Structure 1
Amino acid sequence: MFSLRADDDDATRLGFFSDIRDFFTGHTDALSEFDPEAGTGGEGGGVWVRPRLIGPDAPGALKSALHSAEDSGGDPGNVWIDLHDTAGRTIGSYFAGAATLERWEEEDGGTAVATVSCWLTSLPEAGAYEVWKTWSRRPPTGVNDWVSLPVGRREGWMEVARMYRGGTRKANPRHERYTLDGANIIDLASFYCAIGEAMNGPGGYYGGNLTALDDCLLGGFGPAAPFRLVWEHSDVAMAALGGLPSCLPDSSVLDMIVDCLERRGVTVELA
């Protein structure tokens, strides 16, 4: 379930709806962090989208708010698209700027479809849609659930792991030793999925790029360095990432990951 919430008033819901279309359309490659020319796909670091909100439970509030702003020559301003679990709790949110109602349709059976134009800083990952739906029923309780996602969709798992606000998840306490299961690290997104769970348990987040990983190593998103990291099945990552050039001469992507960890005091043992 989704809802539209006014940015300036957390209590104001413009409507609840059962589905959203044309919103989760991003296809980011985690390797783009090593491409200085890679962008977000939108001018000025953002992009305009036109999601369709399907089947609002309270279409009157949404229709009235958006039409009222439109009639007055303005727009409803900034809004949040919230995602809810089956109990109705908010588990994640996407910020959307300058929302305007472009089209309102009422289909047979009373189903309403609202097409809203809005501005996003970046496109939500296509792979995140199914992950949000799954986590809305139950967040992962075991590691490696992300392995079932094909390469190219694991960035969506990273996005949800970073944004998820489930009330039962807690960051791991600090230990002297952690084990990274590297058997499934076949691309860069796989590494971030795996280290997130190694450090913070099933569905855990511990960075989605080198800058974020470095921040996590300082604390605030789980255990802070120094600690010892035993990287099991490291040969899999060596085959997948060891030959990929990074933005530094004579350094592979794998070299930069290990360097980032060791710079913060992590003892990396490649097993």
Structure 2
Amino acid sequence: MRTSGQGGAGKKYALTSDEADSDFWGFAHEAEGIFTPRPDEREEGGARRVRLEGCLPQGGLLKSLDHVGGRRARAGNAWLTLLDGDGVTMGSYFVGEVTVVDVEPSPDAAGLVDLTVTLWCADALPGSERVWDLVRTGHLNRTGMWHDLAPADRHAWLSVALWSRGYRHRERPDAPAGQMFTLDGRHIVDEDSFYCAIGEAVNGPGGYFGWNLDALDDCLRGGWGATTPFTLRWNSSADARARLAERLPVSNRETTVFDLILEILEERGVSVILH
């Protein structure tokens, strides 16, 4: 995870060139629009129009300001870093083709500007901003906070759980082999809610332990909070089985999502107790 230096009060974002860590583009108080796809998007929801508020441009971003409206207004590709209140990196998104389209003085402070840029970012999902704010303020601290989310917001929840994991669980080792984790199946209504539930079971509130079947398999290989072999006590499993009934092709057969999850868990050394 890239770190763009230390921020200060109110600095929630930082930009650093993808070409060189030494090419720091500056901090911003806000990045309004980064989680909002443009209505005229053409690339799977990645096109964004972002207003960087309270910015002191540096490096390659500063060079582009004199060329607004021209080809050289394109600063290039960068990493947009999200900062906590102490300026520590919480997570980063790759942003492509950052192009300055407008610049004006910022009301935040003398000498700062508000930049409007266009860029492309596939990973900053709508609904993520609220979750990042919970991480930033330390309020992602209770189990079940995802229970009432809409399906799209559950996927956004999982994305923040993934991108913020290194920050939230830094220097915390995996649980040793032989542990028992309890999975609450009452709120598992689809595949995403299963990943929300198992992430919470293994890593606590807002925890991550995969957000698709391949990622689940990767997490079971170690380095993501748990060491196999371990035991998973799956409560209310009958309800989850009924809701994870979508059939998937696997090799020369079909099976349900629920049964495929069980296969992956058991193949990686997890003893599943269904209740």
TM-score by length of 1: 0.80
Structure 1 residue 22 and structure 2 residue 33: aligned?
yes
1:136-180 residue CA offsets vs partner (Å, 9 max, x unmatched)? 111533322222433320111111111113265425412422211
Cα displacement (A) at 1:238: 1.9
Distance 1:231 1:155 in 2: 22
Cα gap change, 1:9/1:139 in structure 2, threshold over 3 Å: closer, same or farther? farther
How many Å separate the matches in 2 of 1:3 and 1:268?
43
Map 1:38-53; keep pairs closer than 5 Å. 43=43, 47-53=46-52
Q: Is 1:5 matched with 2:7?
A: no
Structure 1 residue aligned with 2:119:
118
- After superposing the two structures, state which structure 1 stretch, 251-260 or 63-72, moved more: 63-72
Post-superposition shift, 1:118? 2.2
Partner of 1:166: 167
Residues 178 and 228 in structure 1, CA contact (< 8 A), matched pair in contact too: yes
Q: Distance in 1 between matches of 2:47 and 2:140?
A: 32
Structure 1 alignment gaps of length 5 or more: 27-40
1:117-144 C-alpha deviation (Å, 9 max, x unpaired): 2233x24211211100111111533322
Match of 1:195? 198
Deviation at 1:60, TM superposition (A): 6.9
CA contact 1:199–1:223 (8 Å) conserved in 2 = yes
Please say if 1:186 is aligned against 2:193: no
Within 5 Å, give how 1:226-245 maps onto structure 2: 226-242=229-245, 244-245=246-247
Indicate yes or no: 2:216 matched with 1:213.
yes
Cα offset, 1:53, TM superposition = 1.8
Q: Once structures 1 and 2 are overlaid, which stretch shifts more, 245-254 or 81-90?
A: 245-254
Alignment of 1:149-164 (within 5 A): 149-164=149-164
Question: In the comparison of the two structures, how many residue pairs are matched?
Answer: 253
- With the length of structure 2 as denominator, give the TM-score of the two structures: 0.79
The 1:73/1:17 distance shift into structure 2, 3 A limit, reads closer
Whole-angstrom CA distance in 2 between matches of 1:156 and 1:226: 30
Higher relative contact order (CA closer than 8 Å, sequence separation 6+): 1
C-alpha contact 1:5 1:14 (8 A) present in aligned 2: yes
**Distance in 2 (alpha carbons) for counterparts of 1:186 and 1:10:** 43
Distance 1:224 1:69, change over 3 A: farther
Q: Structure 2: how far apart are the matches of 1:72 and 1:64?
A: 15
Assess if the C-alpha contact under 8 Å between 2:31 and 2:51 holds in 1: yes
Which residues of structure 2 form unaligned runs of 5+?
1-11
Match of 2:7 in 1: none
Whether the aligned pair in 1 keeps the contact of 2:73 and 2:101 (CA below 8 Å) is no
Query: Structure 1 counterpart of 2:79, which letter?
Result: W
Determine the C-alpha separation between the residues in 2 that align with 1:190 and 1:213: 13
Contact 2:174–2:224 at 8 Å: present in 1 too? no
Instruction: Give me the CA root mean square deviation.
Output: 2.9
Aligned partner of 1:37 in structure 2 is none
Which residue number corresponds to residue 252 of structure 1?
256
User: Are the counterparts in 1 of residues 23 and 59 from structure 2 also a CA contact under 8 Å?
Assistant: no
CA contact (8 A) 2:143 2:204 kept: yes
Deviates more, 1:233-242 or 1:156-165: 233-242
* One-letter identity of the residue aligned with 1:254: F
Aligned residues with identical type, % of pairs: 36
Secondary structure of 1:223's counterpart equals coil
Deviation at 1:61, TM superposition (A): 6.7
In 2: Cα distance, 1:139 partner to 1:85 partner: 12
**CA displacement 1:59-118 (0-9 Å, x = unmatched):** 577862322577784743221111011111110100112322122244667684322222
Is the partner of 1:86 in helix, strand or coil?
coil
Listed as ranges, the matches of 1:45-124 within 5 Å are 47-56=46-55, 58-59=56-57, 64-67=62-65, 73=72, 75-106=74-105, 112-120=113-121, 122-124=122-124
